Amino acid sequence: MMTTPTWFDTSIENALITHESPEDEQGYFVYQLDALKAHLAALQQQDVIKLWFAVKANPLSKIIQTLDSEGFNFDVASSGELAQVLAQGIDPERVLNTGPAKSKKQLTAFVKQGVKTFVVESLNQLNWLNEAVLEQDQPNCENARPKVLLRVQLQWHEGEKNPLGGNSLTPFGLSVSEWQNIHVDSYPALDLCGLHIFQWGNMLSNEKMFSLWSQMITPLTDLANSIGMTLDVLDLGGGLGIDYLGEGQALSWSRVIEDLAIIKAKAGVKELWLELGRYAVAEYGYYVVPVVDRKINYNQEQLVLAAGINHLLRPAITDQPFPVQILREEFIAEEGTMQAFDLHGPLCTSMDKLGHLQLPKDTAVGEQLVFGYCGAYGFTESMPFFLCHELAAEYVYQNGTLTQVRAAQPASSYLA
């Protein structure tokens, strides 16, 4: 049996094998922009949902520009993300602000910079935003009223736990009973036009997503009615999954669209929004890192890599490794030639492990590994400072060419 992983686009293989740069020997990221663009264009072939990009998944300039070129809008959750999006020339009217830690100062700054869409997550945020708008120079101008969605956190009888909460209590949004204490008429400076809900991450089953979405409609429409809101917009967040473990599960996008058309009609909303993170970008990024040592410890084959969770933290906090392959010309994994290795990084903690994964038995020191699905939650979701290693370089691959966007940086660049 021969297997070629579905996550690896071999058209980039040669560029990675021939790439030589001493600075990148501590590991680097590559994003395949042409393939990303084609994927995003396919996601836009529908008129059911309005698509936003959750910037935290990958805030690299070139990634934001590619999403912009395919008509995505931007969900930002910090001042840093807003600055990065605006620096790419994005109109602030195409920016949505989510996040549980919005101070009045931050809300005021966002309003001043022209952001017109907010997801509010607490009663304080709602009051502060109303005040911030009233304190502007022309508060009564009708088109100055920002669109505001209330973020709702529901409790479910069944379900599972994950980083976004699932059934556990999180700081994201408020319960229906808390929101029921307000009335839309009390916030004349705001256009309270919708609800936001997002509690499940990395979903891989269309049936399960549809079932969860369906169960949300009644509590949400009831809430809107009871607070005097005309429910024009429903934002279902992100959470569309990536099959990190290669279990053969994958969402069908056309099914997602069919299901959401039903949800949209049942909820009776004018607009349905999604903020995609990993589903938009994960597949189009790779992380390349060399093997620096190999040994056997208590019968377990171990590889030590030049970098581990200092560049790729996600496996340590989710227990889901990114898939890996060796970088060799025209490599094909043949039955009997592979074995499981523990893959460790350089940090002095047992947490620094990128997985227990299959690689060729003859994997040697100096060879390079390539990890897949690293286009989302890679570079900026890492812990790069511990033990004073290098910050990883970031490249884009476009028109058959590898171009550096950010050079690797030694510890001296950030140590004081």
Ligand X SMILES: *Cc1c(COP(=O)(O)O)cnc(C)c1O
Binding site for ligand X (CB under 6 A): 54, 56-57, 75, 77, 98, 198, 201, 237-240, 275-279
Tokens of 81: 């993300």
Q: In a 3-state reduction of DSSP, which class is residue 401?
A: strand
CB of 45 to ligand X, least distance (A): 19
Q: Nearer to ligand X by C-beta: 59 or 277?
A: 277
Report yes or no: 216 and 195 within 8 Å, Cβ to Cβ. no
Q: Nearer to ligand X by C-beta: 48 or 204?
A: 204
Q: Nearer to ligand X by C-beta: 346 or 375?
A: 375
CB of 201 to ligand X, least distance (A): 4
CB of 44 to ligand X, least distance (A): 17
Q: In a 3-state reduction of DSSP, which class is residue 313?
A: coil
Give the integer Cα–Cα distance in Å for 254 and 89: 31
Tokens of 5: 């992983």
Which segments of 62-202 are extended strands (E)? 73-76, 95-97, 117-120, 147-151, 191-196
Report yes or no: 282 and 373 within 8 Å, Cβ to Cβ. yes
Instruction: Kindly provide the b/e burial profile for residues 125-142, where b requires at least 16 CB atoms within 10 angstroms of the residue's own CB.
Output: bbebbbebbeeeeeeeee
Measured at the CA of 44, the angle between CA 38 and CA 50, to 5 degrees, comes to 145
Q: Nearer to ligand X by C-beta: 64 or 408?
A: 64
Q: Nearer to ligand X by C-beta: 77 or 269?
A: 77
Residue 218 CB contacts under 8 Å (≥ 6 apart), including other chains: none
Catalytic residue selected from 141, 193, 348, 374: 348
Q: Nearer to ligand X by C-beta: 345 or 372?
A: 372
Q: Nearer to ligand X by C-beta: 198 or 341?
A: 198
Sign of CA dihedral 178, 180, 186, 188: positive
374 is catalytic: no
CB of 153 to ligand X, least distance (A): 12
Give the integer Cα–Cα distance in Å for 376 and 181: 38
Q: 45: burial class by Cβ within 10 Å (0-12, 13-18, 19+)?
A: exposed
Report yes or no: 30 and 55 within 8 Å, Cβ to Cβ. no
CB of 240 to ligand X, least distance (A): 6
Give the integer Cα–Cα distance in Å for 51 and 203: 18
How do beta strands 95-97 and 117-120 pair? parallel
CB of 328 to ligand X, least distance (A): 32
Report yes or no: 69 and 39 within 8 Å, Cβ to Cβ. no
Tokens of 114: 């022209």
CB of 279 to ligand X, least distance (A): 6
Give the integer Cα–Cα distance in Å for 4 and 331: 9
Q: Which residues are catalytic?
A: 348
